[in-house]
Amino acid sequence: MGTTKTDLFNAEQNDLASMLKALAHPARIAILQHLAKAESCICGDLVQELGLAQPTISQHLKELKTAGFIKGTVEGVSVCYCINIPVWEQCKTVLDRLLR
């Protein structure tokens, strides 16, 4: 137990659920907002902006990246993150299709 019974549901339902789960945390929403506002990408700044420790931010970034919502490019010693628009659009489309 404690595990979601994914085999009971179809791919669309499971995919949408995991996309939404990736967004369903205030820190990850705050990260997306910051990336949207900053236009270009940032990284260590997020640790400053939100009050969370560096490993925590790194973990949230990883979840957003795994879900496809952001992309990260190594820029020398730092990493530059930015929003992955197509995935975002697709998420909204699927969500829209849900209730109509």
Question: In the numeric block, which tokens belong to residue 33?
Answer: 């907002």
Nearest CB to a second copy, comparing residues 74 and 94: 94
CB 71 within 8 A of CB 52: no
Nearest CB to a second copy, comparing residues 24 and 75: 24
With CB under 5 to 8 Å by kind, the binding choice for 3 among a second copy, DNA, none is: DNA
CB burial of residue 8 (10 Å; 0-12, 13-18, 19+): exposed
Question: In the numeric block, which tokens belong to residue 18?
Answer: 């995991």
**Shortest Cβ 83–a second copy spacing (Å):** 7
Nearest CB to DNA, comparing residues 76 and 86: 76
